[in-house]
Amino acid sequence: MDDRTYTADASPGDAVTVAGWVHEIRDLGGIAFLILRDKTGKIQVKFEKDEMDDEMVETALDVHRESVISVEGTVEEEDRAPTGVEVVPESIEVIAEADAELPLDPSGKVEAELSTRLDNRTLDLRKDEVKAIFEIRAEALRAVREHFRSIGSTEINTPKIVATGTEGGTELFPITYFGEEAFMNQSPQLFKQLMVGSGLERVFEIGPIFRAEEHNTPRHLNEATSIDFESAFFDHTEAMDVCEGIVRAAYEGVAENCQEELEALGMTEEFDVPDDAFPRLTYEEAIERINATGALDDPLVWGDDLSTEAERALGEDVGSHYFITDWPSEIKPFYIKDHDDDPELSTGFDLMHPRLELVSGGQREHRYQHLIEGFEQQGLEPEAFEYYTKMFKYGMPPHAGWGLGAERLIMTMLGLENIREAVLFPRDRQRLSP
Ligand code: ATP
Ligand code: MG
């Protein structure tokens, strides 16, 4: 439709064709109003029954809510209209009629369960406050990409079908690949490392990761979007600096370009771009602080991983984003480098939001012999990873990087209770469709 005008651009005196969804019809007797909605907002269309073509008025008032229509007419100033203008119609066309009964009410007057909403995302995203989440997600990813580019990183896309997995702890999804067993990739970890040793040096990827998490939780998905970064000649502290910059860039982009969306979410007042550097606690300091809160029945001892309960206690205590550094080597993956002066301690780090973990990263083991030993210590067969380990024999620079869950970033940024709110079509234990 070349001649279509967005409702937000309709100004008094214009002859326009507006097109969109029927949001509401109010028939007051001699006069009736139809509210038409498009991506930019809503506009009132006024019908004066005595003065207008009967057939046009009838068509307009009989159409079901959420049908797609177009209206040709003139825009007039009207103080009593919700946006200060209204369309006086000359003709109306019903382009796609909606059923009278809808599985959920896009006006939001009737609340729907999350599962009903996820089954009907098309209708769900007709609500301003739901659409806002995905406009914000798009803006955050745009800002993240721009920041990565500004620090000289190259965007890469690596395979999602692989022969072996890397992240112990979570399970793999097997698939059949021309009669052979293959897996959906849990992380681009090994591929991005292979690329820091290439001529690219500094790379990022925004793409899907697949984790066969057995249980439904409010913060796990079986298919998530990972924002991954890796750079040659970086140590873990430099990787943390970039991580901080990326999180801040995402918040800044949203603060600058998504005021309307924040308003739709009722968040304009409370949305703060994190300004100071994020505190960096060592693992040892973290467990001391957690134990000091008295929140756990059994105090943590060195070597324990942090439970959800422990993370929550520490998050409340710190009250902002923070890093946990210097984890015990034995609870971090094989590809993370240990401190040279203390092999019990790894250079692994996590970025935490007060509510949950956002990022895991670290400096990587780039020395061939140490890498092979790391595999063996974690009970993995280095032979299965020869395509990867081999390249460490041909000039692999020291490097560091991290992975940030995009949905967790959006979830914590917007205070969403459930990670599924931040994905259009979530995959979880029960949900494989739509
Ligand atoms: P958790 O301990 O919270 O389950 P993890 O330590 O297993 O996470 P990593 O392997 O460190 O996760 O992955 C890096 C990041 O990717 C995580 O910090 C998180 O933001 C995101 N992520 C990992 N698994 C999931 C998942 N199942 N759903 C959503 N995001 C995930
Ligand atoms: Mg982790």
Using a 6 Å cutoff on CB, does residue 408 contact ligand 1? Answer: yes
d(CA 33, CA 2): 26
Give the number of the atom of ligand 1 that is nearest the alpha carbon of residue 405.
Answer: 20
Answer yes or no: 408 catalytic: yes
Counting ligands in written order, which one lies closest to the CA of residue 214?
1
* CA nearest ligand 1 atom 19, residue: 405
Answer yes or no: 211 catalytic: yes
Using a 6 Å cutoff on CB, does residue 220 contact ligand 1? Answer: yes
Using a 6 Å cutoff on CB, does residue 167 contact ligand 1? Answer: yes
Q: Ligand 2 mean position to 351 CA, how many Å?
A: 9
Cα 87 to its chain centre, rounded Å, is: 38
Q: Could you list the mean pLDDT of each consecutive 10-residue stretch along the chain, which spans 434 residues?
A: 92 97 96 97 97 96 98 97 96 98 91 96 97 98 98 98 73 93 94 98 98 93 98 98 98 98 95 93 97 94 94 96 96 92 96 97 97 87 90 98 98 98 97 96
Task: List helix spans (H) across 279-377.
Answer: 283-293, 308-318, 368-377
d(CA 226, CA 405): 5
Answer yes or no: 344 catalytic: no
Give the number of the atom of ligand 1 that is nearest the alpha carbon of residue 350.
Answer: 18
167 in helix, strand or coil? coil
* CA nearest ligand 1 atom 6, residue: 360
Is 2.40.50.140 the CATH number for 7-96? yes
DSSP 37-86: EETTEEEEEEEEGGGS-HHHHHHHHHSPTT-EEEEEEEEEE-TTSTTSEE
Report which of 415, 413, 408, 352 is spatially closest to residue 224, judged by C-alpha positions.
Answer: 408
Q: What is the pLDDT of residue 297?
A: 93
Answer yes or no: 373 catalytic: no
Catalytic residue among 284, 357, 373, 431: 357
Any idea where the domains of the chain sit in the sequence? Answer: 7-96, 122-279+320-422
Q: What is the pLDDT of residue 79?
A: 95
Report which of 328, 315, 325 is spatially closest to residue 281, judged by C-alpha positions.
Answer: 325
Report which of 69, 95, 92, 226 is spatially closest to residue 157, judged by C-alpha positions.
Answer: 226
Q: Which amino acid is at 425?
A: F
Q: Ligand 1 mean position to 153 CA, how many Å?
A: 23
Q: What is the pLDDT of residue 170?
A: 62
Answer yes or no: 145 catalytic: no
Using a 6 Å cutoff on CB, does residue 403 contact ligand 1? Answer: yes
CB 79 within 8 A of CB 87: no
CB 188 within 8 A of CB 158: yes
d(CA 361, CA 229): 9
Q: Ligand 2 mean position to 145 CA, how many Å?
A: 22
Radius of gyration over alpha carbons of the chain, in Å?
27
Q: Ligand 1 mean position to 405 CA, how many Å?
A: 6
Counting ligands in written order, which one lies closest to the CA of residue 307?
1
Answer yes or no: 220 catalytic: yes
CATH code of 122-279+320-422, in short, is: 3.30.930.10
- Are the folds of 7-96 and 122-279+320-422 the same? no
d(CA 138, CA 124): 17
Answer yes or no: 417 catalytic: no
What global pTM score does this model have?
0.96
